[in-house]
């Protein structure tokens, strides 16, 4: 391929990236609208706790939390926010659903795996910054 073909290919890729970014932005706006609608109805659910039960109220709150975490994933696009969404989703499923012992065990293992991924396979920017500051401090002490 010649250089002109590469430029055309790059222009097409750039266009698709911009289109995908706009779609992502539209989905984020829809998530914000959905969260806003859910937040408006929280007082109604608080009043209805006696009738519907605490489990329905917790489902409602977890749905809001998962929506907020999904919005963070759309905005930040880092591994930490994705792991948080998965943690909330699995936790919601474990708390809300009435599962067998085996299904609960699988959910707990899934949470443990997510925590292991977060601890051992991912270094957050805050940890990187703290490690850099510590190494800078140790270098100055020498």
Question: 46: which residues sit within 8 A by CB, 6+ positions away?
Answer: 57
Q: Comparing 61 with 78, which gets the higher pLDDT? A: 61
80 close to 119: Cβ distance less than 8 angstroms = no
- Measured CA to CA, the distance from residue 71 to residue 116 in angstroms comes to 24
Q: What angle do CA 89, 91, 96 make, to 5 degrees?
A: 95
86-104 confidence digits (pLDDT tens) = 888 888 888 888 788 998 8
10-37 confidence digits (pLDDT tens) = 888 889 889 988 998 898 899 899 899 9
- Measured CA to CA, the distance from residue 20 to residue 14 in angstroms comes to 10
């Amino acid at each position: 391929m010649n250089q002109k073909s590469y430029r055309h290919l790059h222009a097409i890729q750039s266009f698709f990236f911009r289109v995908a970014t706009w779609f992502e932005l539209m989905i984020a706006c829809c998530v914000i609208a959905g969260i806003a609608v859910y937040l408006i109805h929280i007082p109604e659910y608080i009043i209805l706790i006696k009738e519907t039960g605490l489990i329905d109220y917790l489902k409602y709150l977890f749905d809001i939390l998962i929506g907020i975490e999904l919005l963070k994933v759309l905005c930040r696009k880092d591994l930490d926010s994705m792991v948080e969404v998965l943690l909330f989703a699995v936790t919601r499923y474990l708390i809300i659903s009435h599962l067998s012992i085996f299904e609960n065990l699988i959910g707990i293992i899934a949470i443990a795996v997510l925590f292991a991924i977060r601890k051992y396979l991912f270094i957050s920017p805050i940890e990187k910054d703290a490690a850099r500051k510590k190494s800078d401090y140790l270098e100055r002490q020498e």
